[in-house]
Structure 1
Amino acid sequence: MPPAPSARCRYAAEWTATKLRWGLSVDPAEADALQALAAECRGATVEFEPSA
């Protein structure tokens, strides 16, 4: 997690995009952490292109 609170939403969006792009799994603890971050980042958009 970035130490600056202002960077956390971008970090969460980019982390999620990376997971989605490459079809990576998410364990329950990571899913809980990402959901908690998402709740703080209303209006954030996750953009990705699936890998070929």
Structure 2
Amino acid sequence: MWMPPFEGDRCEYIANWIAVKVRWQLAIDPSEEAALAESATRCPNAPVKVTLAR
């Protein structure tokens, strides 16, 4: 999975990725979930803000 080169950017990227998945109720496969979960552990304070789609 591609990630931005700087750690701070990665946290924002991961938070946005998760928010899009939740907002649009998109499926997530096991390898994607594992990669996001592992990356998110490095960003314990990154807020994920979601507005659900109508």
**Alignment TM-score, normalising by the size of structure 2:** 0.88
**Alignment TM-score, normalising by the size of structure 1:** 0.91
Question: Secondary structure, in 3 states, of the residue corresponding to 2:41?
Answer: helix
Matched residue, 2:18: 16
Matched residue, 2:49: 47
Q: Which stretches in structure 2 are left out of the alignment for 5+ residues?
A: none
Matched, 1:38 2:44: no
Q: Which stretches in structure 1 are left out of the alignment for 5+ residues?
A: none
Tell me which stretches of 4 or more aligned residues in structure 1 moved more than 6 Å. none
Q: CA deviation at 1:44?
A: 1.1
Cα RMSD (Å): 0.8
Over the matched positions of the two proteins, sequence identity in percent amounts to: 42
Q: Partners in 1 of 2:53 and 2:29 — Cα distance?
A: 21
